[in-house]
Amino acid sequence: MRKDFARFLPLLFLGTLFLLMNCKSKSQSEPIPPSPVDSVTAKVWLTKGDKSKLFNREADLPIKSQGSTNWPVITVDTATLLQTIEGFGAALTGSSAYLFHKKLSDGARQSVLTKLFDTVNGAGISFMRLSIGASDFSVSTYSYDDLPTSAQTDYTLQHFTMSRDTEDVIPMLKEILQMNPSITLLGSPWSPPAWMKTNGSMIGGSLKTSCYDVYADYFVKYIQQMKAQGITISAITPQNEPLYSTASYPCMSMLSSEEGAFIKDHLGPKFLSAGISTKIIIYDHNWDNITYSISILNDAGASQYIAGSAFHGYGGDVSAMSSVHTAFPGKGLYFTEISGGTWAPNFSDNLMWNMKNIFIGTTRNWSKCALMWNLALDQNGAPHENNSSTCRGVVTVNTSSGLVNYNEDYYSIIHFSKFVRPGASRIAINIPTSLNNIEAVAFKNPDGSKALIVTNYSSSMTTFSVKQGLKNFAYSIPAFSVVSITW
């Protein structure tokens, strides 16, 4: 057998040589094509209007580096950067702080704060609004300089005290800041002290012209005393809802001419001389009036101190924000208040409305933030300074059972706050007309990650592809659903 095997050795050698030469030639002339799927995938979180999935982590989507698609294509343009995002969240009202601080056990409070503010294990809420003194959702009515009678005055603010805020608001802020130290805080007053006003009451009236200067000092003192507590106030508005002064809770009329003069001649110069960098944001009222902001910004003397305009969503259309942007593209826009309530009890309808008008709506109309109203209310919509309340908190704290319910407003917020971090830029996208029941908005974070939030307003599942550069992925979004996709 050895002799027979030896006879075949030359043939075996020649055959092996042929195969090696052939393989080499093949590898040089016909390179193996790359895999159409990269190692990178897009991550998906889904909330369905029927509540069968609530911010549910779905299967990752393979990102393809080549190939065509049979689905309508949403094109993402990361080179076109639009407004910078400052954050998403809600208001830590006095009522919300009271419920967290006084009505929850330490363990329950830690759990809810984690779900709201923790950037890893929660929603990572990055922007909160505070009331400067009492709002309609406070345990009681107060300012920081209350006197026995409105006939008395305190132009040197010797009686200024934030002791009421140290009961609940400041302790809760400190707990939140331990969890998320970079959160942005916006302060808004519902009313100055009664003695500063024309009617001697915190309800209604207007600011006395003789008190413009001391009221500016009041803001300076608020910011400085918060700073002494380790709390940075990033921005203020001079007056919440200045065109609504007939409420049964703290409120005040402040016409655009009055707000402009207050900023131009008092608040702006006071901030400058005190070395305060807190932003001044004007208006803070509904979409149905754009002349208020524009008239103030037309005054260069006032405009030099103003960072932008704030809007609420109780009247008008979200497109008003784009109108102000067109008039003053260098000034920021902020959406600072909307509340859900018993008047709209359907989860799916509310989720769709929030996306269309508040979260996708405001950011596509140049807003740097989107804020809901109360972070928390109890099962009766309380505590409040009204005779009755029909508002709903982002979460409901049941004071009887101690349980916390996360409402549709929470799921609206988390789809943005979790993935669109402060400093992100909105980026341009193109949605084909064939996706007529789809709305979307996209962002690029400072770390380079992208986030696309898509809402399907129709009653049927819709499939689309997303294209960024040479890469693409596809997704089928269920009916009446919101999806956040990151890559």
Six token digits for residue 8: 């075949």
> Residue 222: which of 154, 293, 297, 276 has the closest Cα?
276
CB 360 within 8 A of CB 440: yes
Contacts of 38 (CB under 8 A, 6+ apart): 62, 63, 64, 65, 471
Which residues lie across from 310 on neighbouring strands?
Answer: 283, 334
Q: Which helix (H) or strand (E) holds 177?
A: helix 169-179
DSSP designation for 269: H
| Torsion over CA: 227, 233, 234, 235 (sign) | negative
Whole-Å CA distances, 455 to 377, 415, 420, 440 = 27, 11, 16, 6
Which residues lie across from 97 on neighbouring strands?
Answer: none
Cα 126 to Cα 58: distance, rounded to the nearest angstrom: 24
Six token digits for residue 360: 């996708």
Q: Which listed residue (241, 259, 408, 439) is catalytic?
A: 241
Q: Which listed residue (86, 258, 259, 337) is catalytic?
A: 337
Residue 30 designated active-site: no
Residue 408 designated active-site: no
Is the peptide bond prior to 72 cis by the omega test (within 30 degrees of 0)? no
Cα 272 to Cα 289: distance, rounded to the nearest angstrom: 29
Q: Look-up: residue for tokens 């043939």?
A: 11
Active site residues: 241, 337
